[in-house]
Structure 1
Amino acid sequence: MFKSIPGRRAVQSMLQVGTWSVNLPVALPAKRRNSGETINLNPHRQAGAPAYIKPNLKWDDFGISFTVCDKLSSCANARYINLRPGWTLQQARAEAMTHYDENEEERVREYNFKLVTCWARARLLNVLYAVGNNAEDDVVNGRPIGRCEIVEDTDRLVKPYTCADKLDEMSTLLAEAQRITVGRPLLRERLKIRAPRA
């Protein structure tokens, strides 16, 4: 039986949007940096190596944050990326969001399908066991009763949470903020009165 949905793999959340324009510093924990050991350059952080962007979503955070990283998910600065020809940073972020959403929906769909298949298989085996044992007294409404009652916990099914969902939340928040602002014109009038005259 499946305990929980498998974690998201790095390739499912990040998209290559270009290459590094310079050799980036080695990404190491402070303990290793301060030890004085000789550090070789990481090939995935050198000029010409692939550069990635990945969107970050959390249920309790407002908006979507983006991380620029190398192939091992070590962070870097976006100013060191040579974007794909014709791309802007905004397009790269939009492409990364689309990539994330497609992979997230596939990951959740695959988990839910396996879970439902497991439940169906258990029900089928339960009924086949009852029919195979020819239990005359184990009949309810003309159907044989198996070894045990099969109960599906539909709360274990997962709903995908995507960048598109987060953008919908943000547009709702923006509409609510605009409604409140329009509904309180007195505040704007007070600010006009307080504003220094040129």
Structure 2
Amino acid sequence: MNFLAHAYLSYHQPSITIGNMIADFVKGKHWQDYDTGLQQGIRLHRLIDSFTDTHPVTLEAKRFFQPGCGKYSAVFIDIVYDHFLANDTTRFPGNTLAAFAQEVYTTLKERHYLLPVGFQEVFRYMSEQNWLLGYQHKDGIYKTFSGIVRRSRYLEVTADVPFAALEANYDALAASYQTFFPDLVTFVQNVPPAPTSV
């Protein structure tokens, strides 16, 4: 779950940010339980995921992880994109990532009552361990990979396997991010008004 990208692409809009962050924890038609702003964020999250998963650059980048991680390759690519976004000084110059992370945590904390129960637990760890800032560093990425492996029912490897793929192909993956992310930004900026259903 590439939380940093979803937060960044919410462009400081609180309702969009919340919807974008909780979308994976809102199943079926439960998106209808939320107000229009959060519904927009949930919809945006799903559009971002679909665009990312089908983009030719992402499909090519997944091959670095597929030998060891199979169908989970897309999950690791999401985290890798967050790593490069966290280090993208055109998006987060200076120490602005730290300030942005705190802004996101504050937005979620102030509207904690809106968060699905499953995400409330995730948010507790996210804010306490400062995941969004941690994506800048390789040890933060390793910890995130470890969490994915731990929670994955059918992934029978340690975090060392995807992390080795990241290390071995770091420059190629950085190039993938540099090609892909501007396309994603353009896509999000041109998302049409919401239809009557998500």
Structure 1 length normalisation: TM-score?
0.28
The structure carrying a bigger helix percent of its residues is 2
The structure carrying a bigger strand percent of its residues is 1
- Bigger Rg, which one: 1
Structure 2 length normalisation: TM-score?
0.28
Higher relative contact order, chain-length normalized (CA < 8 Å, sep 6+): 2
